[in-house]
Chain A
């Protein structure tokens, strides 16, 4: 079966750095997405990786290793507004998105 694993919850301090991991086992691979979802709101796109390596976008970076079935989202200089759930999703061989359950990130002052 297809499976995406992420930690259920993480806590970090304002101004610090946090890394959210995602491991996947899917039927084929056509890319990996990270979305942010604030409580009670819709998911919004953060990043897309299809090749191995690090993609940097401001305070957020996303890394992919296809051989290990592994990705992480790195958030720097954490702000209170970063408190949200972070969803990892993989595009499988049929171009269907397979979603992880999400990681709830709690930022403490």
Chain B
């Protein structure tokens, strides 16, 4: 079992470019989350999903969109990247809210 995987691991974008980050899980978990982690700050929730076909905004959703067409996949899109979106992005899953979350290895994104 792979657990939670993320692609790509690293990416450099120019301002205004778009990209999609993919999170895949084989744990059969309902809940999936996208976080960003910046130096000196706690993990901040971007968007989350409580099941296939549903998504909701987190603390910092502006500039990002998500989709959960299949239970095992959660996609994070950046429509027009900005330098402020330079960060490490983590995907996480849990069986139900309030349980421990399992994290993917992260995607390090730099926007020039």
Contacts and interface: CB of A to CB of B under 8 A. Distances in A.
B97 A101 contact: no
B42 A100 contact: yes
Interface string A1-19: 0001000100000000000
Interface string B32-45: 00000000111111
B100 A99 contact: no
B51 interface: no
A44 interface: yes
B101 interface: yes
Interface in B87-112: 90, 97-98, 100-106
A102 B42 contact: yes
A26 B64 CA distance: 26
B39 to A, nearest CB: 9
Contacts of A44: 103
Contacts of B45: 96-97
A11 B70 CA distance: 45
Interface in A50-79: none
Given A87-B43, A101-B41, A45 B105 contact: no
A91 B98 contact: yes
A46 to B, nearest CB: 9
A99 B41 CA distance: 8
Nearest to A88: B42
A31 B98 contact: yes
14 contacts: A33-B100, A41-B105, A43-B90, A87-B42, A87-B43, A89-B42, A91-B97, A95-B97, A95-B98, A96-B45, A97-B43, A97-B45, A99-B44, A100-B42
Interface of A: 4, 8, 30-31, 33, 41-45, 48, 87, 89, 91, 95-102
